[in-house]
Amino acid sequence: MAELNDGKPRKIKNTRPYSFSIEEDTSNYSAYRRGGIVTQVKEPKVLNFKPLQQALKDPGDYLLSDFSKFDRPPLLHLAFQALDKFIAEFGRFPIAGSEQDAQKLIALVTDINNGQSDGRLEEIDHKLLMNFAFGARAVLNPMAAMFGGIVGQEVVKACSGKFHPLFQFFYFDSVESLPSEPLHPNDLKPLNCRYDAQISVFGSKLQKKLEDAKVFIVGSGALGCEFLKNVALMGVCCGDEGKLTITDDDVIEKSNLSRQFLFRDWNIGQAKSTVAASAASIINPRLHVEALQNRASPDTENVFDDNFWENLSVVINALDNVNARLYIDQRCLYFQKPLLESGTLGAKCNTQMVIPHLTENYGASRDPPEKQAPMCTVHSFPHNIDHCLTWARSEFEGLLEKTPTEVNAYLSNPSEYASAMKKAGDAQARDTLERVLECLDKDRCDTFQECITWARLKFEDYFVNRVKQLTYTFPEDAATSSGAPFWSAPKRFPRALQFASDDLSHLQFVLAGAILRAEVFGIQFPDFVKSPEKLADAVDKVIVPDFLPKKGLKIVTDEKATSLSTASMDDAVIIDELILKLEMCRKKLAPGCKLNPIQFEKLVWPI
């Protein structure tokens, strides 16, 4: 079907994992052979928004955030129009707790509803409108934070021209957060303080409880900063008896600054909990906060002891791993403390409120394990960008973090390290020793030019030799045992790259690899790395050996395989030989030799 190669976008249907149908007549097209790459094209969509005056009368479909409240948006649409009329008529908002003002608002809603020809509501929820009137003048921080996030998303959509914007009207309510019992009007009166808005909704008694609460926030990353800001603005732990304890054993990194808004670039390297607590104290100087740098775990139960847990009012989790969440959940379960559990993963998030004797705890249910790409797919048959990212991250950590760490472990105590490897005696121990020996012998770098050589040969290994070996083992016309083409979806037949020093992407790969390798071996960067011409000259000096494919080499194709290493009966013998070679290599090293492992940092360029 060469006719499909004209580059024009086509509508498809009946999409399945590896096939689809085209919405056009293909009877006169040439026969489809095999393979081919299809790219998804998202065509622009034009949205026509109604003017406000028209949209108020004919709002159309509402965006729902809670399908159990599908009848709320039409009523809230009327309520906001009635509120606008109330303000225009009386020059103020309804007074919190005033039933007289609430009845006036309800009457306005009824009049607007009766004046509608289309979309008239048959029933009006008076209780909901009473709550609406009582809280109309309040600006609550949690609601402002939620709507602020939504507005921020809409701004990004408008600036980027991507993603679907909110269309016309979106109403959100959290009536379930209001007190279950009616409050006395005196309890809603303002106290001439910064919390009057909350008092007008939740009452002064609840505000006093918030101020005197003893709260434990575990973690001060992205979620921790948001929680801490909200706690400070709401006056939680700001009373004479209140206390907020926040703990996090991590320090601030550059990559944190984009989403952990309490930190600034001059805070890099400082303790997260300390900086976050200081920032929150600026937001509310009355906040009683203690910042700790302890990991909440069985090892720190002398710090977070029984007395500490028994005195808590509530625990807020802002953690980034399941094991820590389960530990905090078990402590809350044991001491019967309410827990606010939450987490984020990319654009996804979850929240769970755990109340003793009322809800299930966090550890009572588990998410199914996330699907991971098979090892053979990631290393030999990638077919989406996630596979490439997984492979690159794995190679980075193996070459620049794990192997140097293993080298240091060996050099710090060679005899103990050798004994541990001999005791293990498996394929993994053999692979580890091979990587350590390679790092200290064949791949050891003493000059920056040697780092360039290492990086250039890595390029050849990754993007040329491995591809040539793969296509030698499985040619383009290779077939499976059943006779089907081996290179069929989702596998893609690869093409080896040809290194060119005038290709900026090729040169940047070598430069980044050389600089990272130099950092591992403690080698200074020469000035010529900033000159593409001089760098290209240095790269061109590298002698790249010709590649000869290996016959009979086994490449793993089983998607159920969890490791690419294969066990051997001779592992123990090979391990003994590797240890002897390592000992000979160690004697050639300078006394006190040590490598510098590099941890992956998302927003750091190595220059």
Q: pLDDT tens, 64-115?
A: 888 888 889 999 999 999 999 999 999 999 998 889 999 999 999 999 999 8
The catalytic residue positions are 376
Tell me if 399 is assigned to some domain: yes
Average pLDDT, the chain: 89
Q: pLDDT tens, 534-574?
A: 999 999 999 999 999 888 778 777 666 655 555 555 778 88
Tell me how far apart the alpha carbons of residues 262 and 222 are, in angstroms, rounded to a whole number. Answer: 9
Supply 193's token pair: 């303080």
Strands 243-247 and 339-345, bridge-based pairing: unpaired
Burial readout 472-504 (b: 16 or more C-beta within 10 A, e: otherwise): ebbeeeeeeeeeebbbeeebebbeeeebebeee
Cα-flanking dihedrals φ and ψ of residue 467, to 5°? -70, -40
Q: Which residue has the tokens 């606010």?
A: 340
Tell me if 15 is assigned to some domain: no
Closest CA to 248 of 290, 282, 204: 290
Burial readout 122-148 (b: 16 or more C-beta within 10 A, e: otherwise): eeebeebbbbbbbbbbbebbebeeeee
Local structure of residue 548 (DSSP, 8 states): -
12's CB contacts (< 8 A; 6+ apart) are 20, 21, 22, 23
Query: Do 579 and 432 share a domain, yes or no?
Result: yes
Q: pLDDT tens, 201-253?
A: 999 999 999 999 999 999 999 999 999 999 999 999 999 999 999 999 999 98
Is 607 a residue whose pLDDT tops 50?
Answer: no
CB atoms within 10 A of CB 151: 11
Average pLDDT over residues 171-184: 88
Confidence at 314, pLDDT banded by 50, 70, 90: very high
Q: Taking the CA of residue 561 as centre, how many other CA atoms within 13 Å lie in the half-sphere pointing to its CB?
A: 16
- Which of the residue ranges 146-155, 326-335, 376-385, 530-539 would you say has the lowest mean pLDDT? 376-385
Give the domain CATH number at 75.
3.40.50.12550
Confidence at 589, pLDDT banded by 50, 70, 90: confident
Tell me how far apart the alpha carbons of residues 569 and 532 are, in angstroms, rounded to a whole number. Answer: 50
Q: pLDDT tens, 38-53?
A: 888 888 888 888 999 9
Ramachandran region, residue 451 (left: φ > 0; alpha: ψ -120 to 50; beta: rest): alpha
Q: CA angle, corner 102, sides to 100 and 108, nearest 5?
A: 110
Query: Do 452 and 570 share a domain, yes or no?
Result: yes
Query: Do 580 and 451 share a domain, yes or no?
Result: yes
Strands 214-218 and 314-317, bridge-based pairing: parallel
Supply 382's token pair: 């990638």
Sheet arrangement for strand 243-247: 289-292, 243-247, 214-218, 314-317, 339-345, 348-354
Which pLDDT does position 559 carry in this prediction?
67
Confidence at 605, pLDDT banded by 50, 70, 90: very low
Query: Do 316 and 356 share a domain, yes or no?
Result: yes
Average pLDDT over residues 304-328: 94
Print the domain residue range for 421: 376-587
Residue of 347 and 588 predicted with greater confidence: 588
- Residue where a domain terminates, one of 364, 391, 408: 364
CB atoms within 10 A of CB 193: 11
Tell me if 415 is assigned to some domain: yes
Which pLDDT does position 573 carry in this prediction?
85
Tell me if 193 is assigned to some domain: no
Which pLDDT does position 31 carry in this prediction?
84
Supply 85's token pair: 């009329």
Cite the DSSP H helix spans in 258-311. Answer: 272-283, 306-310
Query: Do 122 and 248 share a domain, yes or no?
Result: no
Is 601 a residue whose pLDDT tops 80?
Answer: no
Helix (H) or strand (E) holding 512, with range, is helix 504-521
CB atoms within 10 A of CB 537: 12
- Residue where a domain terminates, one of 99, 130, 160: 160
Query: Do 403 and 339 share a domain, yes or no?
Result: no
Cα-flanking dihedrals φ and ψ of residue 252, to 5°? -80, 130
Provide the residue type at 595 as one letter.
L
Query: Do 237 and 319 share a domain, yes or no?
Result: yes
Number of structural domains found in the chain = 3
CB 252 within 8 A of CB 279: no
Average pLDDT over residues 586-595: 86
Local structure of residue 271 (DSSP, 8 states): B
Tell me if 43 is assigned to some domain: no
Tell me how far apart the alpha carbons of residues 562 and 573 are, in angstroms, rounded to a whole number. Answer: 24
Query: Do 440 and 555 share a domain, yes or no?
Result: yes
Tell me if 25 is assigned to some domain: no
Q: Which residue has the tokens 């009207």?
A: 169
Query: Do 571 and 424 share a domain, yes or no?
Result: yes
Average pLDDT over residues 258-275: 93
Give the domain CATH number at 328.
3.40.50.720
Q: Cα 59 to chain center, whole Å? A: 36
CB 375 within 8 A of CB 562: yes
Strands 214-218 and 243-247, bridge-based pairing: parallel
571-587 vs 403-412: helix axis angle to the nearest 10?
Answer: 70
Tell me if 445 is assigned to some domain: yes
- Residue where a domain terminates, one of 317, 336, 364: 364
- Which of the residue ranges 15-29, 147-161, 181-195, 198-212 would you say has the lowest mean pLDDT? 15-29
How large a percentage of the chain has pLDDT more than 70? 97
Give the domain CATH number at 485.
1.10.10.2660
Tell me how far apart the alpha carbons of residues 246 and 243 are, in angstroms, rounded to a whole number. Answer: 10
Closest CA to 575 of 430, 432, 467: 430
Query: Do 315 and 398 share a domain, yes or no?
Result: no
Tell me how far apart the alpha carbons of residues 431 and 403 are, in angstroms, rounded to a whole number. Answer: 11
Tell me how far apart the alpha carbons of residues 439 and 435 are, in angstroms, rounded to a whole number. Answer: 6
Burial environment of residue 270 by CB neighbours within 10 A (0 to 12, 13 to 18, 19 or more): middle
Q: What is the pTM of this model?
A: 0.74
CB atoms within 10 A of CB 335: 15
Query: Do 490 and 419 share a domain, yes or no?
Result: yes
Query: Do 380 and 360 share a domain, yes or no?
Result: no
Provide the residue type at 44 as one letter.
P
Average pLDDT over residues 572-587: 87
Q: Taking the CA atoms of 95, 96, 102 and 108 in sequence, report the sign of the dihedral they define.
A: positive
Tell me if 85 is assigned to some domain: yes
Q: pLDDT tens, 430-481?
A: 899 999 999 999 999 999 999 999 999 999 999 999 999 999 999 988 888 8
